[in-house]
Amino acid sequence: MSEAVEVKGMVLSALPYREYDKRITLLTCERGKITVFANGARKPSSQMAAVTQPFVMGTFSVYPGRGTYNLKGFTPGQYFEEMSRDIENTVYGSYFLELASYYTKENEDGTQTLNLLYVTFRALLRGTPGRDGIRRIFELRMAYENGFFPGTTICSACGKALTGPGGEGGYFLPWEHGIYCRSCMERRKEEYKLHLKEQGGVHKREIELSPAVLSAMDYIVRGNLKDLYYPEYDPAALEKIGEVMEVFRESLGKTHFRSLDVLDQLKELSLPGR
Ligand SMILES: [Zn+2]
């Protein structure tokens, strides 16, 4: 048997496997997203039962196998145990884990995503800036870390400043995944209409973004992670960013997030005005 290696990371998901085992997905600093089998972890007497659950963070000792790993031991780090005491935090947190799982791959450095999850869970537990706002900030930062939204203060095509003195804001074009000034947006829209006429497809609308919204987006994508959730974001700006992230998610072609269905159901159950 190969030697055990130590990896720092967080459990993204855990599924029952065979009669007594679990199959967990772990996001690690050293090896990116990996699959780990935890033998006997479903037995109540198992020391591994409590640590093979979503939100558990720490150092995992694992045996590398063929494409997967086997769990040997665990040294606790930060366990976001409190997350599971509140149903809404659990549901939002589960969505963040699912989104992290969607973006991450094996054999990549997972450190930045782990740090982002860490500050995001701290913010959820603190309760500011509100769960929906946290969701939008997290979605945008995750997209940025994975190569989207490279610049939010200049036009993606001509480089014109969209914020600052004389900045007129810009437009998010879902079919391009980019932000453009008005004249570049209009040109691209003509091309897009032509493309739709020839190739068919569902028409998507551009979203206008004010300089204030673009500045907030710029802070979210480029700011220090530890300060990400501390500014007093304008709720209207976060709502606009939410609109962008909704059409962005649809334009990714992905796919279905199980935790979002639960989130939608939860919102329907919530009393009006909450
Ligand atoms: Zn332009």
- What are the tens digits of pLDDT across the range 52-74? 999 999 999 999 999 999 999 99
Model confidence at 77, pLDDT cuts 50, 70, 90, reads: confident
Residue 194 C-alpha to ligand 1 middle, in angstroms? 20
**Cβ(93)–Cβ(80) below 8 Å:** yes
Residue 162 C-alpha to ligand 1 middle, in angstroms? 9
Residue 184 C-alpha to ligand 1 middle, in angstroms? 4
Q: Could you report the per-residue pLDDT of 131-185, keeping only the tens digit for each?
A: 999 999 999 999 999 999 988 999 999 999 999 999 999 999 998 889 999 999 9
Residue 181 C-alpha to ligand 1 middle, in angstroms? 4
The side-by-side arrangement of strands in the sheet containing 178-180 is 178-180, 170-173, 207-209
> What pLDDT does residue 255 have?
66
Residue 110 C-alpha to ligand 1 middle, in angstroms? 34
| Nearest CA among 213, 202, 195, 158 for reference residue 180 | 158
- Within 8 A by CB and 6+ apart from 115, the residues are 225
Residue 83 C-alpha to ligand 1 middle, in angstroms? 44
* DSSP string for 186-203: HHHHHHHHHHHHHH----
**All structural domains of the chain with their residue ranges:** 1-79, 82-274
**What is the CATH topology of the domain spanning 82-274?**
de novo design (two linked rop proteins) (1.20.1440)
> What pLDDT does residue 274 have?
44
Residue 200 C-alpha to ligand 1 middle, in angstroms? 26
Query: Does the pLDDT value for residue 76 go beyond 90?
Result: no
> What pLDDT does residue 245 have?
95
> What pLDDT does residue 201 have?
83
If one looks up domain 1-79 in CATH, what number appears? 2.40.50.140
pTM of the model: 0.92
Q: Are the folds of 1-79 and 82-274 the same?
A: no
